[in-house]
Structure formats: C-alpha cells, structure tokens
Structure 1
C-alpha cells in the first residue's frame, strides 16, 4: 500500500461524516439533472479511505453501489476521474493495466508507468488482485500482449522482486557500471539482458551509485547511453526505470507535461497520474514540474482542460505554485 502522508495534496477531511456525505451525493443525483459541484465537493475533498467509508455507507442506506449511480449520472473525463477517485489504489492499478492490454492496441506507456514506479509490495498486491479479478496472471497477459526484450523487462518489473534494502556495495556498484558500459557503449550491438538484470533487481541507493560510477566511465549519463543504444518501447521502459530511481516526482512531472503539451491531451495518462499520486507525492510533483518546465502544473491544467473535469484536476493539484 502506498504511504499516504504530508506530500499529498488531498488530506483526510476533518469533520468527516459518511452518512452526511451519502445524503449530499443522493441529493446531487436526485431528479432530472446532476449537481456536479456537489459531487466534486464531496469526492474531491475526502481521502481515499474516507471515500471507501462513503461507498459502504451508500450501499447500506441506498441498497445500490455508489459507483453504478455515479456512472449513470456522469460522462466522459469527469466520470473517469470521479470513478478513479473512489476506486481503491491497488484495484485502480489493476484496472488500468487490464485496460492498457484490452482490445486491438496496447497502451505501452501505461504498462511502463505503473510497472516501473510501484514498489515491490505494491506489485505483490497488484499481482494478487489481478489474478483474483481476471482469473489470469498479470504476467500471462503481459506475455500475450507484448514481445521480445520489452516483454522481458515488463515481466521482470511485474515480479516485484527488486531488492528493497538500502545497502550500497561500492565494489559491486563499480562492477555494475563497468558491465553496463561494456554491454552497451563499448561494444557493437547491445547486451540488453545485462541492462535488465542490473536495472530491474538492484535497490535504489545502489543504483544511484551505479549511475554515478557509470558517468565516470562513460563520461555521459546512463539515460543518454540508453537513448543511443536502445529504441522503441524497450528504450522507454529502461528510461522510466532509471528516472523513477532518480526521482519519482520528476518522472511523474514529465508524464503530466507530456500528457498536456502539443495538440490534444492524453486524458487517460493525465487522470491516472493525478488520481494515483494526489495523496502520495503531488506536492513534490508540482515542485518538480515548476522546476523542469518553468510554469506551474496548475496553470497547465487550467489552460488544457475544461468544465467539471478541470475543477476536479485543479482540486487534486492543490494549489497554483
């Protein structure tokens, strides 16, 4: 379970009363239209744990699922972000992973984002919940939907077997850096398995040391080497791993920026990152966003989204700085 703490923008509501919130939501959905502002006022101002209490209280007093009633009242991106907010974190990741592999195309970006950024414990929970919900393992679905070295990197990340310690083995870090250099920059052709083995199994502190040692040998960052040695989704996956090891908030800031820049908005990425990080590290993501792009995340959302959808995202963003 992700740690909920001081780095999130959404906090538990101080005067929380599940029964009162159920009444507010019922009133908002009664009659011909829907009072979207009232829905936002409840859902976007409560913590995820409080929203679960509201869901239970709703079913108890109304005899129906809150999710079903909201789906029948709301549409589009507004519906997607509100439903995302009332979905437990592990279940949300599971559903996003399934959606990324359903149908004709594959959303490789979604697979990479979730698998590269979740902790070993989160991955164990995701694997168990995925099997329970869909009757197939996450690994089986990844294997039937992806191929070659990209598939192998995703499977390795999905195992959730990364070393969770903090120990840095200086000698091994130098050896790892040397092996990465010899597997890529130094030779004709690339030994991708060596990259997978080191980047997908070592703990974060150790990898930060490896990156440092790599720069001494290669005279450039590992990211630059990956870009010159790899291509396509494999390149994207390994870059995501390195970026998450360096700074998860920085990685998510870049995901948000890319979802909004240029023509058209990648709403599914924008919603997923805002929903999944708002109670974890959104304050840090905001800070990194401003540092990296010279404009606030708040101003980007304001200029890129509209209507009730924008209101929810701005609430999750939590401020203008």
Structure 2
C-alpha cells in the first residue's frame, strides 16, 4: 500500500491525513448507545485506522464517558447525590463506590469517589486565610508532582464550594501571573486533566459550561444524544433560559435552531418543548427561521406531526 511520505512494504493500513479522532469517537458514540447501531460504520473506522490511532480513539472514548460522569456529579446537590446513591443501591444491590472502583483506577478513581460523596461545601463562604493557604498548597503540589499533586487538587476541586473555587482561581493567577487552567494543561493528563477542566469550567460559569456542552453534542458529524438529552432534561427546571442566552451569544444561532438541525420527529418535538416551555411549538419554529436556519417543508411537517 502506498502511503504518502512514508516508506512502506506490504502494509494495508497507514496513517492518513484524514484521521479525525473526535469524528471517529462520535461514530462509536452514535452506534454503541443502542441495539441496532450501524456496525458497518464501526467496522469502517476500526479497519481503516492504525494501531496508534485505534488506541487514541479508545482513550478519547473512555475520557468522554468519564467526563459525563463528572458532569453529573458536580452539577448535583448533596441531597441529590444521596438520592442517586440510595436508588442505585436499591436497584443494583451494591454501592456506587463499588462500580467506580471496578470501572476506573488510580487518581481518577480517587476523584470520582470523592465527587460521589454528598459532602461538598454548599455555602458561599470564602474565608481568605484558608484561601491563601490552599493557593500555596496547590502551587507547592504542582512543583512536587505525584500523589501530593493529585491529593491537593482533589481536596479543593471535589470538596470546596464553587464561590470559593472561583476566588481561588483569581488569587492563584494574581500570585503567579499564570492561571490555573495552564497548570492543569501542563501537569495533568488523560481523565484527570479532562475532569479538572470540567470542574473548573463549571465553577466559573455553570450556564456557560452547559451551553458549551450542548454545542459540542451537536457539532460535527452525528449527535451525542445522551449528553443532549441529559442536559436539556435536567437544566430545563433550573437555568435553561440563561443557557439559551449564552448559547446564542457564543455561537450566533439559537439552541432551538441547532436542535432542529440535528434531530427529527417526536424527539425534536420533545426537546423543543423542553427548551421553549413558555412558547408554543409554532413560536419555537418561527424563532428558528428568524435565526436563519433553512427548514424544508419536510422538516416543518415532521416538527408539527407529533
């Protein structure tokens, strides 16, 4: 097989410039989430990627699943986490912690176990003496690395209230002329880096975080229906109007227009109703048209045919 820029012998697969790990991961997400997925699409990806590319796809896929769990845990109150734990035990006859230990390992496992405990401070208190101490502890931990680094960050990111975490980010930057995001990128990797970034983004702006997650769930090839549905269902009772406002500001089109472009039939109808509860379905579709989305007669008929 001829591979541009590579010396080859008898190989049938080589690194291709067209490799897009996010696109390939989306293929797996789309076709592994339910029975009857397109096995041919999965086979096409697996059979046309090199070993190193397959490993990258596997790593990204697992990272994505881990990020979803982190998202669920950081966006629930202590009482909601307790309800989840109780219901899980009642349904499966074993503890959530057992599941986490089976499915994950290392520092990421430790983080999930801490997040799964209903023990985060839910006040808005920001004691400055404790804040200064934690900033010093994080900076010292980054220099030392290893277990100390992971423990120090977990203690802050998994246990402190979000007002405290936002204030810590500001003081961290003032004291070192670099923000904490940079150090997360430099000194963490894999699941831990992804999880810490998610917690940091959520702490700074929950509505901005969810707007970005909704955008990512519909951007590119296919739709991440699990993420799309979970966020819309859970945030429709909390802050959906603010999420929609930020979504429009950041991505120049309404959330409704993205939903119409990526979904169909009853599923589209349900999502539009959830994000536009104060509007009639007719008003929602008119809003999509106003945003510049081009709806075919078939799409309009599908939307109203529920």
TM-score band, normalised by shorter chain: 0.5 to 0.7
Q: Counterparts of 1:267 and 1:197 in 2: how far apart (Å)?
A: 32
Cα offset for 1:147? 0.9
* Residue of structure 2 aligned with 1:240, choices 175, 187, 198: 198
Correspondence for 1:312 among 270, 292, 299: 270
Instruction: Tell me: higher relative CO, structure 1 or 2? Use CA pairs within 8 A at least 6 residues apart.
Output: 1
Q: Does 1:171 align with 2:126?
A: no
Deviation at 1:197? 0.8
Q: How much has 1:187 moved relative to structure 2?
A: 4.8
Q: Which has the larger radius of gyration?
A: 2
| Equivalence map 1:130-169=2 (5 Å) | 130-169=88-127
Q: Distance between the aligned counterparts of 1:116 and 1:149, measured in 2? A: 17
CA contact (8 A) 1:181 1:217 kept: no
1:234-280 per-position Cα deviation (integer Å, ceiling 9, x unaligned): 11111121222222111111111111111111111111111111111
For the residues of structure 2 that align with 1:311 and 1:240, how far apart are their CA atoms? 30
Match of 1:278 in 2: 236
The answer to whether the 8 Å contact 1:214/1:221 transfers is yes
With 214-223 and 123-132 compared, the bigger mean Cα shift is at 214-223
Provide Cα deviations, 1:281-306, integer angstroms capped at 9, x if missing partner.
Answer: 11111112122222221111121212
Counterpart of 1:110 (choices 60, 68, 72) is 68
CA contact (8 A) 2:67 2:198 kept: no
Cα separation, 1, equivalents of 2:249 and 2:178: 22
Q: Which runs of no fewer than 5 residues in structure 2 stay unpaired?
A: 1-32, 35-61, 277-283, 292-306
**Cα distance change on mapping 1:220 and 1:108 into 2, 3 Å:** same
Once the two structures are superposed, what CA deviation does each residue of 1:18-61 show, in whole Å capped at 9, x if it has no partner? xxxxxxxxxxxxxxxxxxxxxxxxxxxxxxxxxxxxxxxxxxxx
1:116·1:237 contact (CA, 8 Å) conserved in 2?
no
In 2: Cα distance, 1:228 partner to 1:317 partner = 38
Distance 2:90 2:196 in 1: 29
**Alpha-carbon distance in 2 for matches of 1:239, 1:246:** 11
For 1:287, the equivalent position in structure 2 comes to 245
Tell me the distance in 1 between the aligned counterparts of 2:159 and 2:188.
19
- Conservation of the 8 A alpha-carbon contact between 1:243 and 1:251: yes
**TM-score, reference length from structure 2:** 0.66
Distance 1:244 1:198 in 2: 14
**Aligned pair 1:298/2:256, yes or no?**
yes
RMSD: 2.3
Cα distance in 2 for partners of 1:215, 1:280 equals: 31
Residue 254 of structure 1: aligned partner: 212
Q: How far, CA to CA, are the matches of 2:187 and 2:86 in structure 1?
A: 35
1:117/1:241 contact within 8 Å kept: no
C-alpha contact 1:178 1:217 (8 A) present in aligned 2 = no
Does the C-alpha gap of structure 1 residues 124 and 175 become closer, same or farther in structure 2, counting only changes over 3 Å? same
Q: What number of residue pairs does the alignment pair up?
A: 219
Q: Does the C-alpha gap of structure 1 residues 188 and 121 become closer, same or farther in structure 2, counting only changes over 3 Å?
A: closer
User: Which residue of the other structure, out of 87, 93, 98, is the alignment partner of 1:129?
Assistant: 87
Q: 1:187 to 1:245 in 2, by over 3 A?
A: same
